Amino acid sequence: SISTLGERINMIRCLLAFLVIVASVGASLATPSRIIILRHGEKADEWKLCGVGQQRAKALAANFLGRDSKNSLFASGEQPAAFYAITLHTLELASPAAESWKLPITLFSVVPEPEKKKELSIKSLNVRTEEAVQALMADPNLNGKTVVMVWEHKHIANAKLEAAFPGQKITLRQLLKLDELKDVPATWPSGNYDYFWIVDFAGGSSTPTGIAMAKQSFAPPFDKLPTNDWDKPNRLKSASGCELKGR
């Protein structure tokens, strides 16, 4: 009958609406259990790492982030679900560790702009950082897993940059709600290449439950890499071939 057909159509509509709600709730709960954030290594220029930064990439794979690393940041039997990167520097740093796991790197790519167009690079980094976090938090394959994000330090945390874009969330500190946690630094110092921010989430919530700051420290043959304390000089020398900001 017509009434029966109409009832069936209404039931189908209700079912579809319910499925959409369930899917949206499921997507909101697709949260990694841990995100390991670190900066790219020491760089030679806007395009590549210097020798020190290249050694840091190898050291991180051998000691913290690679398969069978000596002081793995992953639980026993666990492997990272994904590596995220954004620039050539971050890609270069992440590559040895990701390769050891035979994992691709998810790259939200931004390439350097000429000095006169620096503002374009900043705006691109703003957009791509936001896109990366949106993708990260909506991917059901990452739910309950550990993800490594190798990022540009100003787009991890930088109070001056955040103030320049009021009303926007452009850093990982803002986008991952790290600013809701106590004692999270407002700015990642320019001279620190040697720290992890290890961020934990629980129960599918997009609000972190805590953050630990851990300094990278290496045994030979990587023991000469800078391991300066937070916001202290890294003592890089001009002979290193590295940019000397924050030395």
198-220 per-position pLDDT tens digit = 999 998 889 999 999 999 999 99
CA distance 60 to 81: 17
Tell me the backbone φ, ψ of residue 42, rounded to 5 degrees.
-55, 140
Calculate the average pLDDT of the chain: 90
CA distance 146 to 63: 17
pLDDT value at residue 113: 82
Lowest mean pLDDT of 19-33, 203-217, 227-241, name the range.
Answer: 19-33
Average pLDDT score over residue span 191-200: 98
pLDDT value at residue 217: 95
Confidence of residue 101 (pLDDT cuts 50, 70, 90): very high
pLDDT tens per residue across span 38-91: 999 999 999 999 999 999 999 999 999 999 999 999 999 999 999 999 999 999
21, pLDDT greater than 70: no
Contacts of 175 (CB under 8 A, 6+ apart): 129, 130, 133, 169
pLDDT tens per residue across span 33-52: 999 999 999 999 999 999 99
pLDDT value at residue 82: 98
